Amino acid sequence: MIAEDALIARYLAPLAGPGALGLRDDAALIVPPPGMDLVLTKDALVAGVHFFSDDPPASIARKALRVNLSDLAAKGATPAGFLMALALPADLDESWIAAFAAGLGEDARTYACPLLGGDTVRAAGGLSISITALGWCDSGKMVRRTSGRAGQTLLVSGSIGDAALGLRLRLEPDAPWARALPGPLRAHLADRYLHPYPRNALAGAITAHAAAAMDVSDGLLGDAVKLAAACGIKGLHPRILLDRVPLSPAARAALALAPDLLQTIMAGGDDYEVLMAADPDTVPALLAACAAAGCEASVIGELTLAEDPAFVGADGSAVPFSSLSFQHDWTA
């Protein structure tokens, strides 16, 4: 048996940053750096919904933190720390917590995002983790989702579809395409599902050269539609050239084996890449800055008011999708 105080002292206090006051106060205390704006984001993960209960505890921890770091990256913000509410099932054993805290601590150091505070409670059902991450950006410089305009180029970082394919592999390991895919490619997809790779390295490039940005979490196509809609310009929509969407060698191989995986790749979500809109004349500088920061970006289309189809294939014709992104819904 482990009591709440012991759990916090043994596993969470070692992850605490200076503002956390050793997790021994009611609240965290942060002195805002002068000339900076505060950026705040909150994403929650639930066992059986966002991850599998038997995923490695360190991976669950990393995913919980990284999905929040990805939001900060997309806003061009530098991580400052996080608060975490951990709802732990009654039958949890201490080795699970130890491994969870170890993974979380490693990421907190890697991304310079220390634990600032939180709450640890008994879950009624399964495990859930809710994280609020804080970041700073230069005053007035946060990159909005709402500032896209017609004629801007759309770009995306990294590669799309890997995580959603990794999830398909977990759910249907005996599908013909899954069995035909070489082991190292399967391993790449499985890893991308377990572990987002938030693009915090691109924050500077995004701030300097992007007009609008958001993180791709629910599915590239749906998120591109969301970005256009958020701009509040009647008729603004994305036009995405599907063959320009960057795919990893593993996703390319999977798609060659089963062309209907295009739906999963383009709309499956869990990418945690950054979708950017940029004025055409800043695109070369944005591409160069991303490459210099260690993560290539790719031009995938544009924002437009023209009555063009939104998603087009190599031959210029519209490609239909059964859905554009993942969305929770509740049935009464």
Is 174 a binding residue for its own copies by CB under 8 A? The answer is no
Asked if 273 interacts with its own copies (CB under 8 A), we say no
Residue 122: strand, helix, or coil: strand
Residue 18 makes contact with its own copies by CB under 8 A: no
Q: According to the binding rule CB under 8 A, does residue 77 interact with its own copies?
A: yes
- Which of 77-85, 165-173, 242-250, 286-294 is the region at the interface with its own copies (rule: CB under 8 A)? 77-85
Q: Which residue number, 19 or 309, has a Cβ lying nearer to its own copies?
A: 19
Question: Quick one: residue 188, left, alpha or beta (phi over 0 = left, psi -120 to 50 = alpha)?
Answer: alpha
Site for its own copies in 56-75 (CB under 8 A): 71-72, 74-75
Contact 149, 231 (CB under 8 A): yes
Shortest distance, CB of residue 51 to its own copies, whole angstroms?
A: 10
Q: Which of 9, 102, 175, 230 binds its own copies (CB under 8 A)?
A: 230
Contact 41, 68 (CB under 8 A): yes
CA distance 63 to 46: 11
Q: Say whether residue 31 binds its own copies (CB under 8 A).
A: yes
Interface with its own copies, residue 48, by CB under 8 A: yes
CA distance 5 to 11: 10
- Residue 213 phi, psi (nearest 5): -160, 155
Q: Give SS3 for 215.
A: strand
Q: Encoding tokens for residue 200?
A: 């915090």
d(CA 268, CA 259): 15
Told to check if 78 binds its own copies by CB under 8 A, we report no
Decide if residue 215 touches its own copies (CB under 8 A). Answer: yes
* From 14, 18, 25, 171, residue interacting with its own copies (rule: CB under 8 A): 25
**Which one, 6 or 314, has the nearer CB to its own copies?**
6
145 binds its own copies (CB under 8 A): yes
Q: Which is nearer to its own copies, 43 or 302 (CB)?
A: 43
CA dist 121 and 51 (Å) reads 19
Residue 324 in the binding site for its own copies (CB under 8 A): no
- The least distance separating its own copies from the CB of residue 277, rounded to whole angstroms, comes to 14
- Give yes or no for a contact between 279 and 155, defined as CB atoms under 8 angstroms apart: no
Structure tokens at 124: 């009624």
Q: How far is the CB of 200 from its own copies (least distance, A)?
A: 13
